[in-house]
Amino acid sequence: MQQKKFRLALILAGCLMINYSFGQDEQQPNVITTAVPFLMIAPDARGGGMGDVGVSTTPDAYSLYWNPAKYAFIEKDFGAGIGYVPWLRGLVNDIGLASVSGYKRFGDKQAIALSLRFFSMGEVMFTNDVGQELGAVKRNEWAVDATYARKFSRTVSGAVAFRFIYSNLVPVNYTKYDVRPGMSGAADIALYYHKELEVKGLAGAWIDFGFNISNIGAKISY
């Protein structure tokens, strides 16, 4: 009787070990890699200096990044902006985001805007499987944006923006794998509320609210 109990205990222990082994095999690493993170870098000193606050601030030439609906309330008929943001300057000196943007207002209710953002990832030395240097390559990514903004009322405006994204991380001549530049598209949907307030003793007061869902689009692959 004791011998049968001992055999039964061995069988149960073996089953538990098998189940544990299968459980370990089913665990796969789930690495989440974010593509084109340069789209999240503020292109202007004003928004970046305020801690990436720009969705509900007053409109300017860089509103296409923060909230394109703000263009409907911009005062000037035409404007443009050029900027450069160094990135990780404490580690390297050749990574940065260059941008240029411009807008045109039509009447009192409509506006269009365009922008180009170019992100240089610096110089990278490529090597083969045995560590032999193949050459230095400068990688880059860029995005082209276009938007249309319109007032719905005296206080509310909306906008839609479309974006083409290009990412070239690994040149074809430097790898044996089938790697190509990644391309994708995205869109933004934005709303903006602006109302001037009549406060006794305080001239030029207003209140603003902003809403922007950005980078709605497909995945990017290389």
pLDDT at residue 10 greater than cutoff 70: no
- pLDDT at residue 38, as a whole number: 92
User: Do residues 60 and 74 touch, judged by C-beta distance below 8 A?
Assistant: yes
Q: Tokens representing 74?
A: 């911009």
Does a structural domain hold residue 178?
yes
Q: Is residue 166 part of a domain?
A: yes
Establish if 222 belongs to a structural domain.
no
Residue 196: closest CA among 75, 65, 44: 75
Residue 103 pLDDT grade (very low, low, confident, very high; cuts 50, 70, 90): very high
Quote the number of domains for the chain: 1
Task: Name the residue range of residue 194's domain.
Answer: 35-217
Mean pLDDT on 56-67: 94
For 104-128, the pLDDT digits (tens) are 999 999 999 999 999 998 887 777 7
Judge whether 28 lies within some domain: no
Mean pLDDT of the chain, nearest integer: 83
In a domain, 30, yes or no: no
Which whole number is the average pLDDT over 9-16?
47
**Distance in angstroms (rounded) separating the CA atoms of residues 17 and 19:** 5
pLDDT at 25 over 90: no
Which of 207, 208, 210 is closest to 189 using CA atoms?
A: 210
* Residue 162, in any domain of the structure: yes
pTM of this structure: 0.78
Question: What is the mean predicted confidence (pLDDT) over 73-92?
Answer: 92
Mean pLDDT of 10-19: 47
Give the Cα separation of 97 and 120 in Å (integer). 6
Residue 134 resides in a domain: yes
Between 22-26, 33-37, 215-219, the lowest mean confidence (pLDDT) is in 22-26
| pLDDT at res. 101 | 97
When pLDDT is cut at 50, 70 and 90, the band that residue 23 belongs to is: very low
